[in-house]
Amino acid sequence: MKVISTDKAPAAIGPYSQARVVGNLIFASGQIPIIPATGALAEGLEAQAEQVFTNIANLLDAAGSDMGHVVKTTVFIKDMNDFGAINAIYARHFKEPFPARSCVEVARLPKDVLLECEVIAVVKE
């Protein structure tokens, strides 16, 4: 098993790894819309969604993969009424064949962000 850590994605804010590689699978911890260079939160739904997917892409790059190798995502959103807007941004970052996905509304997320997303991906060959 290998631990993945990069300064191009938010540092862990608890006792967990940014990602772990087991065999050829990457298990990425949930990413929230922290801007790694400043530590600030992106503001507004669209900016937060873009930052989350950018953070995921950067984390996957550090692990030897990319968004095209994601096989499963779990998206946590604060308000299901935002599903359509988040879905449109999601579709710009993931291409067909799309990963399997779960999307759930939750009562609260770390730092009161509007969404968080975790992924499972395959290391590029």
> Tens of pLDDT along 4-45?
999 999 998 899 999 999 999 999 999 999 999 999 999 999
Q: Rounded to an integer, what distance in angstroms lies between the CA atom of residue 28 and that of residue 75? A: 12
In the predicted structure, residue 125 carries a pLDDT above the cut 90: no
pTM here is: 0.97
Task: Report domain extents, the chain.
Answer: 2-122
Catalytic residue list: 103
For residue 55, the 8-state DSSP code is H
Q: What is the pLDDT of residue 13?
A: 84
Q: Which of 25, 41, 32, 26 is nearest to 9 (CA)?
A: 32
Mean local confidence (pLDDT), 44-62 = 98
Q: Rounded to an integer, what distance in angstroms lies between the CA atom of residue 32 and that of residue 51? A: 8
Q: Rounded to an integer, what distance in angstroms lies between the CA atom of residue 43 and that of residue 3? A: 30
Question: H or E element: which one contains 27?
Answer: strand 25-31
Which CATH class, in words, describes the domain spanning 2-122? alpha beta
> Tens of pLDDT along 90-117?
999 999 999 999 999 999 999 999 999 9
